[in-house]
Structure 1
């Protein structure tokens, strides 16, 4: 299935695009020389033509929306932690009481 994807620096991509555009080398020749696939070079060249050098920057892993990406890992204040733990405790007490009620009800039916 999917393997580990190799990432290339923007400088490497720029070098490859320069070899292709400025030195006039063919895409196949540049790809073989740098050990990349020809279609990858063509993708970089297209992005370079459309967006300039910024188009060669790595875009994977950068969240663009407020709810995208990893959740923030910020220390909780003592008050917030206390409030969360009390709520969790109340929830567990209610769950335990419900489960106990069902278990008691089941034993009375037998």
Structure 2
């Protein structure tokens, strides 16, 4: 069974970061007060906020739609490369025939 990750609103994240940075409240207290899953989440939000500002707290899951999404596509072989590959396959099959594996 897969564990579903809880998603928090941008407002909740900002409130937690503000409490930590401006008010000096500890992450354990913030977790209890805002009923978050764990204190590491608060520390992660603070780190992202320091690095990227408010943009770093926005939800990123499922948003990437770039050309390089997913596994890389294979480049098409040139005729010479394809010919070389086929020759190697033929040689391999010939050797298998010789030793009786095919």
Q: Same fold (TM over 0.5)?
A: yes
CA distance in 1, matches of 2:46, 2:2: 25
CA distance in 2, matches of 1:9, 1:44: 12
Q: What is the deviation of 1:64?
A: 4.2
Unmatched segments (≥5 aa) in structure 1? 70-110
Q: Which residue of 2 aligns with 1:30?
A: 30
Q: Does 1:66 align with 2:67?
A: yes
- Which structure has the highest helix share of the two? 1
3-state SS of 2:28 partner = helix
Q: 1:1-110 to 2 correspondence within 5 Å?
A: 1-36=1-36, 37-68=38-69
Q: What is the deviation of 1:67?
A: 5.0
Unmatched segments (≥5 aa) in structure 2? 71-102
- TM-score, L = length of structure 1: 0.57
Bigger CA radius of gyration:
1
Q: What is the deviation of 1:2?
A: 2.6
3-state SS of 2:30 partner = helix
What is the root-mean-square deviation in Å for CA atoms of aligned residues?
1.5
3-state SS of 2:33 partner = helix
- TM-score, L = length of structure 2: 0.62
Please list every run of at least 4 consecutive aligned residues from structure 1 whose deviation after the TM superposition is greater than 4 angstroms.
none
